[in-house]
Amino acid sequence: MNTEIIQTIKRLTIIATVFVLLGFIVWSVNKREGSLSEGLKIKVEPLVNGRDLLTSGDIQKIIQRSFVYDLTEEKVPLGKLKVGEIEKILEAEPFVLDAEVYVDNQNQLYAYVSQRTPILRVIDKDNQTYYLDITGRQMPMSDHSTARVLVATGEIPPYTPDFLEAKKMHFLKKMFELTEYIRGDEFLSPMIEQIYVSQNEEFILIPKVGRQKIIFGKYIDIEDKFNRLKLFYQEGMSREGWQKYKTINLKYRKQVVCERR
């Protein structure tokens, strides 16, 4: 048998092997897609403060609403479970930050969901109530609990999705940045519970302790104003007491002007 015939036989053998392997793969995939699911397990990553806005029951309802099947009770052919579509549908929900969905080798469907973290509860001038998360995205109120976050009220303009864009001058951007500053400060975060917006777009801060109002004014000289406030609380309030003043005014440069009760 000459060399050319031997090479031809080898090539044909390789081609035949490839076709057999492809056939086996197709058969395996078809068999896998035709096999039945073995239930649905859901895990919702809890929020740091422990007040979850979303439950595993909510996730189950979303999947059932979108795909008809109750996967906790029904066995469904795996070919009908569009894992990628399930992930997209879950991630489109306002409380969901990220979703990971997969089927293990026992045909068990898993859905792992992380929640968006609200940082501010807003009640705007049109009496619309919602949360803003850490990315500035709007979130509705939850049926399950109220998040323990700063509350903003008063003459707040309506929400627009692009308010954080660099070229925008939307007032919500100032309020959001003020919220982030307060949240990121070890002294201010446990102290301030409410932001009020006046008609002339000035901020008034309401502390958790005491009945005084902190007149913050326009969103300018942020660091200087808060440094003066901290110094006043640490030195002035310790001597005078929490209930002595009606207002603490930070609008005037290098001063803290107080109004007595």
Query: Containing domain of residue 155, as a range?
Result: 118-260
Q: Residue 162 in contact with residue 173, Cβ under 8 Å?
A: no
Residues 111 and 147 in one domain: no
Residues 127 and 228 in one domain: yes
Of 63, 96, 115, the position where a domain reaches its end is 115
- Grouping H, G, I as helix, E, B as strand and the rest as coil, residue 89 is helix
- pLDDT tens digits in sequence order for the chain, 261 residues long: 556 655 655 565 665 555 445 543 433 444 444 466 567 788 999 888 777 888 888 988 888 887 756 655 566 666 667 778 888 989 999 999 999 988 877 878 888 999 999 999 999 999 999 999 999 999 999 888 888 899 999 999 999 999 998 777 889 999 999 999 999 999 999 999 999 999 999 999 999 877 789 999 999 999 999 999 998 888 766 656 666 778 899 988 888 887 777
Predicted TM-score of the model (pTM): 0.77
Whether residue 50 lies inside any domain: the answer is: yes
The Cα 199–Cα 193 span in angstroms is: 20
Report how far apart, in Å, the C-alpha atoms of 201 and of each of 156, 160, 220, 225 are: 8, 17, 12, 17
Residues 110 and 134 in one domain: no
CATH number of the domain residue 64 falls in: 3.10.20
Residues 183 and 201 in one domain: yes
Q: Residue 74 in contact with residue 128, Cβ under 8 Å?
A: no
CATH number of the domain residue 187 falls in: 3.40.50.11690
Residue the block writes with tokens 């958790």: 208
Of 59, 81, 115, the position where a domain reaches its end is 115
Residues 191 and 241 in one domain: yes
